[in-house]
């Protein structure tokens, strides 16, 4: 029997609902249950793929090629369960489905309405593609009180009614602020938020209260009383020093026990949290520190590179070092000397990116890394810029560029117009729709024997997740080969360059895919482990 846990948020956004959901998923897993996590986002975009990273943060790509919310990254990192297209839905997608049905005449002349048609579509989504999971955790994006989230809240209210208490649980995350002028914690915002939820017909079963200090028993009692929740089900979610501590803290506060109690599941057997204790221990006691420069365009918003910073931390955990990140806006290299910013770092990473702004700075960062023997990791756009750098500065093709920036006589990187997905040929043209049309999701890549990447992976064929529209132009391979840049990973049909490296550089690797999306704290990605190891080595030199 699959049970559904709905997670809503109140008071303010950014309380870490995604981490909260992911942590509960990990706790239920540690009790031996099979879980899957889902995100329902109330915005009107069909998916976040077309949104600016400034608006939305990172776009997390699944194996099956869905462009989703970054919370799915938390889910996957904390539970190890690969997310799927069916784990992410937005108002835009729900409405597209409903309207397409209406156009087909499926509603047989009926008036199409939010209730029941839109809410039915949401309920269908929540229950779709479920097999033998014990729990489906559904996080509702946004904050209770937003106009956009109303149909979602109505849909989960209905499900609560239809499936009953034995199969549904409502969890609400709020904030208990400390007002320094009064020297007091305030429970009123939580009371209001729950009232709002009650007004929509939802009585939360468990309240998670974000708080920066211990919650006094009197406040706990007060919240329980006013919000009509048992005292034991008011769970303080205190700030912690590392995100890996979150499952442990929630367990200590009784979260998983309360969930089991609600569903009348056995509570006497403690979950096995050893792997979380181990990781927290390693994060808290590193044996050294390395500095990595992340040279990108969206560096003001750390959420734009969420999986990347996590993966770098995983690489640090694997090497027992703390990884300090120097976020550098690549545009700065158009005005200031590169060396001044990069001389002290132990590794340079140029992440994924789009568009011409800031690109020259990234090319310069790649040049600096190549010439100065500093470990360089180019991811997607970061690989493309490294190839353009080689074409310009080693081969001498001074106007080498990518067609992403406009027409060029030397398209070292060009638009992909055709590629193979499974047994099908995908075709794209200039000026086609932008949404969902990139080369997305998991694709295989063959590694060339004897190369550094083959050694790092210890495998001949790998599968990694992609999200790109442009590609290194295979026609320049002979020249780049001669320049010392090896095409060490290729698509199985041998047409698309997936990885490049310089064999005579300490560590210079470019990858067309996004390895950061598959890295997990308990299973650091081999490329990140190896990159940080190279940075540790570099730190001993400088």
Burial 132-146 (b: 16+ CB within 10 A, else e): ebbbbbbbbbbbbbb
| Cα-trace Rg, the chain | 25
Taking the complex as a whole, the smallest distance from the CB of residue 61 to ligand GLN amounts, in Å, to 9
Q: Which residue lies nearer to ligand GLN by CB, 278 or 329? A: 329
Crossing angle between the packed helical segments 150-163 and 91-104, to the nearest 10 degrees:
80
CA neighbor of 210 nearest in space, from 75, 9, 4, 6: 9
Q: For the packed helices 119-127 and 91-104, what is the interaxial angle rounded to 10 degrees? A: 110
CB atoms within 10 A of CB 188: 12
The residue (of 207 and 391) whose beta carbon lies closer to ligand GLN is 391
d(CA 478, CA 498): 16
Q: 333 or 470: whose CB is closer to ligand GLN? A: 470
Exposure letters 250-261 (e unless 16+ CB within 10 A, then b): bbebbbbbbbbb
**Distance of closest approach, residue 470 Cβ to ligand GLN, in angstroms:** 3
**3-class SS at 376?**
strand
SS (H, E, C) 230-270: CHHHEEEEECCCCHHHHHHHHHHCCHHHHHHHHCCCCCCCC
Is residue 216 classed as helix, strand or coil in its secondary structure? coil
Strand partners of residue 510:
378, 500
- Give the residues across from 35 on adjacent strands: 135
Q: Which is nearer to ligand GLN, 316 or 510 (CB)?
A: 510
Select 158 or 410, whichever has its Cβ closest to ligand GLN.
410
Tell me the closest approach of the beta carbon of residue 438 to ligand GLN, in angstroms. Answer: 6
Residue with tokens 């099956």: 64
Q: In terms of CB distance, is 271 or 296 closer to ligand GLN?
A: 296
Neighbours of 131 (CB within 10 A): 7
**DSSP-assigned states of every residue in 387-404:** HHHHIIIII--TT-EEGG
Rounded-to-integer distance, Cα 463 and Cα 486, Å:
20
Let me know: does 217 contact 251? Beta carbons within 8 Å.
no
Per the CB < 8 A criterion, the answer to whether 376 and 369 are in contact is yes
Q: Which residues bind ligand GLN (CB under 6 A)?
A: 352-354, 380-381, 404, 467-470
C-beta closer to ligand GLN: residue 51 or 114:
51
Nearer to ligand GLN, 230 or 357 (CB): 357
Residue closer to ligand GLN by CB (options 352, 358) is 352
3-state SS string over 87-145?
A: HEEEHHHHHHHHHHHHHHCCCCCCCCCHHHHHHHHHHHHHHCCCCCCCEEEEEECCCCC
**Residue 258 or residue 471: which is nearer to ligand GLN going by CB?**
471
Active site residues: 380, 514, 516
> In terms of residues, how long is the chain?
542
Cross-strand bridge partners of residue 322: 289
Please report how close the Cβ of residue 379 comes to ligand GLN at its closest, in angstroms.
7
Give phi and psi for 191, each to the nearest 5: -60, -45
* Per-residue DSSP letter, 353: -
Cβ atoms of 22 and 69 within 8 Å: the answer is: no
- Cα 407 → chain centroid: 33
């Amino acid at each position: 029997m699959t049970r559904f846990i709905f997670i809503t948020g109140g008071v303010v956004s950014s309380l870490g609902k995604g981490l909260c959901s992911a942590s509960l998923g990990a706790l239920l897993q540690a009790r031996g249950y099979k879980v899957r996590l889902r995100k329902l986002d109330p915005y009107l975009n069909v998916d976040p793929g077309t949104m600016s990273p400034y608006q939305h943060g990172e776009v997390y790509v699944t194996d099956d090629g869905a462009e989703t919310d970054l919370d799915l990254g938390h889910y996957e990192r904390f539970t190890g369960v690969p997310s799927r297209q069916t784990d992410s839905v937005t108002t835009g997608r729900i409405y597209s489905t409903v309207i397409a049905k209406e156009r087909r005449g499926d509603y047989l002349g009926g008036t199409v309405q939010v209730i029941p048609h839109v809410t039915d579509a949401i309920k269908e989504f929540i229950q779709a593609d479920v097999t033998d999971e014990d729990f489906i955790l559904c996080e509702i994006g946004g904050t209770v009180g937003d106009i956009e989230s109303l149909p979602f809240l109505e849909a989960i209210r209905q499900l609560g009614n239809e499936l009953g208490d034995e199969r549904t649980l409502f969890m609400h995350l709020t904030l208990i602020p400390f007002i320094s002028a009064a020297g007091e914690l305030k429970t009123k915002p939580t009371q209001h938020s729950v009232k709002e939820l009650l007004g929509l017909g939802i009585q939360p079963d468990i309240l998670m209260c974000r708080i920066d200090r211990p919650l006094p028993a009197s406040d706990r009692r007060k919240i329980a009383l006013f919000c009509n929740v048992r005292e034991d089900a008011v769970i303080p979610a205190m700030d912690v020093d590392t995100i890996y501590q979150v499952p442990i803290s929630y367990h200590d506060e009784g979260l998983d026990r309360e969930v089991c109690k609600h569903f009348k599941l056995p509570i006497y057997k403690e979950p096995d949290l050893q792997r979380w204790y181990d990781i927290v221990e390693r994060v808290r006691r590193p044996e050294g520190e390395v500095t990595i420069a992340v040279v990108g365009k969206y560096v003001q918003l750390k959420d734009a590179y969420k999986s990347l910073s996590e993966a770098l931390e995983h690489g640090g955990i694997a090497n027992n070092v703390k990884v300090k990140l120097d976020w550098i806006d690549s545009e700065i290299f158009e005005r200031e000397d590169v060396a001044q910013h990069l001389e002290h770092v132990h590794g340079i990473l140029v992440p994924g990116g789009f568009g011409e702004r800031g690109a020259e700075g990234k090319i310069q960062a790649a040049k600096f890394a190549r010439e100065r023997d500093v470990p360089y990791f180019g991811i997607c756009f970061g690989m493309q810029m490294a190839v353009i750098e080689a074409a310009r500065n080693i081969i001498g093709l001074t106007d080498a560029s990518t067609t992403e920036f406009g027409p060029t006589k030397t398209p070292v990187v060009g638009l992909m117009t055709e590629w193979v997905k499974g047994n099908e040929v995908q075709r794209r043209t200039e000026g086609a729709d932008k949404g969902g049309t990139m080369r997305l999701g998991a694709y295989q890549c063959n590694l060339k024997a004897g190369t550094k990447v083959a050694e790092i992976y210890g495998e001949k064929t790998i599968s990694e997740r992609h999200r790109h529209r442009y590609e290194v132009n295979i026609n320049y391979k002979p020249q780049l080969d001669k320049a010392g840049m090896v095409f060490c990973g290729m698509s199985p049909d041998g047409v698309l360059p997936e990885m490049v490296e310089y064999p005579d550089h300490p560590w210079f690797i470019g990858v067309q895919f996004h390895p950061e999306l598959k890295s997990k704290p308990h299973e650091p990605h081999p490329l990140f482990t190896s990159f940080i190891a190279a940075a540790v080595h570099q730190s001993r030199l400088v």
